[in-house]
Amino acid sequence: EFINFLATQQITASEWENLKVNKPELAETELDVFSDLIWEGVLNKAEYLEHISAKHMYLFYLGEENMQAIVINLKNDVDITTTEGYNWLRENLMDENVEFLQANKDYTEDKNLDKFKMI
């Protein structure tokens, strides 16, 4: 993909090698632009995000108009990052030590920036 990107910028392989050696700040700028394009593509395709820690599970659906979240909090000593802890959660979803929360959040003007901040 980077080779195609350089081609769209009309930069040949030898010119790229020259940029890296003689104009590293310009080469860095080109890498930043490429990175932004890759992130933009990834964020446009992203539909789900998850974050799991010992006591919390955050599940996000990235819809067209807003983000929807389901959060699971544990109030006991179970660590859901372990196989045993995850299995305990699956078998005890209705336990008093398991708390479910749900929320929706509309995107700001920059939907992909909102998604990026979640990552």
> What is the band of 97 on the pLDDT scale with cuts at 50, 70, 90?
very high
Helix H or strand E segment including 52: strand 48-52
User: What confidence score (pLDDT) does residue 17 get?
Assistant: 94
Average pLDDT value over all residues in the chain: 95
Q: Which of 3, 62, 69 is nearest to 30 (CA)?
A: 3
> What is the band of 20 on the pLDDT scale with cuts at 50, 70, 90?
very high
Mean pLDDT of 98-106: 98
Q: Are 59 and 68 in contact (CB under 8 A)?
A: no
- Give the separation between CA 6 and CA 86, rounded to whole angstroms: 45
Domain ranges for the chain: 2-45, 48-118
- Give the separation between CA 32 and CA 30, rounded to whole angstroms: 5
User: What confidence score (pLDDT) does residue 27 get?
Assistant: 94
User: What confidence score (pLDDT) does residue 62 get?
Assistant: 98
Look up residue 112 and give its two tokens.
């992909």
Q: How many CB atoms lie within 10 A of CB 78?
A: 19
Mean pLDDT of 17-34: 94
Q: Which residue matches tokens 């802890």?
A: 85
Mean pLDDT of 5-15: 91
Q: Which of 80, 92, 85 is nearest to 53 (CA)?
A: 80
- Give the separation between CA 49 and CA 35, rounded to whole angstroms: 20
> What is the band of 23 on the pLDDT scale with cuts at 50, 70, 90?
very high
User: What confidence score (pLDDT) does residue 15 get?
Assistant: 94
Q: Which of 113, 118, 117 is nearest to 44 (CA)?
A: 113
